[in-house]
Amino acid sequence: WRSNDGGDTWQELTNGLPTGSDVGRIGITICESQPDVMYALYADASAGFRGVYKSTDGGDTWSGTNDNNMNSMYSTFGWYFGQVRVDPNDPNNVFAMGVPMYRTTNGGSSWFETGSDMHVDHHALEFCPNQPNRAYCGNDGGLYVSYNSGSTWNKLGDQPANQFYAVEIDPSDPARL
């Protein structure tokens, strides 16, 4: 959906995009240096991967970019992901985040798995505005940095962060968690 009046009214974008009740989570990104170029990442209603779509005219028309290499990127929990990011200085350098992370360097003509040296379950990716080749990726394994626009990644260690999955109380000593 798109609004041209600050959200007072909305128009469904259907020219080349999936529609209907089986559309799930959608992620979107717009290239800062070329704002008419944008990408949308679709999951279906059953949490599976649906595809990546590209517009070069500000969202008026869209075309699918998936070359079938990405079909298992969500495993069975696409509702948990939905992030896509385009390099603000290069509209052809795009990252789709899921269990693995996928990348295209040719505007979506082909995609390849990237970041094999990183932990899985990718949730965040940001480009450093004052250092054009630097990017940060956050996933279930922590924070990673790239100094070459996402070609290679290095883990940033010694982070004061935890991810808890469960908490238990000791039944013989309730003060012990």
Q: What is the pLDDT of residues 124-165, one digit of tens each?
A: 999 998 898 999 999 988 899 999 999 999 999 887 777 677
Tokens at 171, concatenated:
């039944």
Predicted confidence at residue 65, as pLDDT, reads 93
d(CA 125, CA 146): 10
Mean pLDDT of the chain: 90
Position 31 confidence tier, pLDDT thresholds 50, 70, 90: very high
Predicted confidence at residue 153, as pLDDT, reads 95
Predicted confidence at residue 117, as pLDDT, reads 84
pLDDT at 90 over 90: yes
Which of 151, 123, 121 lies closest to 135, judged by CA? 151
Position 34 confidence tier, pLDDT thresholds 50, 70, 90: very high
Using a cut of 0.85, tell me whether the model's pTM lies above it.
Answer: yes
Task: Could you list the beta-strand ranges (E) of 81-175.
Answer: 83-87, 90-97, 101-104, 112-114, 122-127, 135-139, 142-146, 154-155
Q: What percent of the chain has pLDDT over 70?
A: 99
pLDDT at 110 over 80: yes
User: What burial letters (b/e) apply to 140-175, b meaning 16+ CB within 10 Å?
Assistant: eebebebeebbeebeeeeeeeeeeeeeeeeeeeeee
Q: Which residue has the higher pLDDT, 42 or 66?
A: 42
Predicted confidence at residue 160, as pLDDT, reads 77
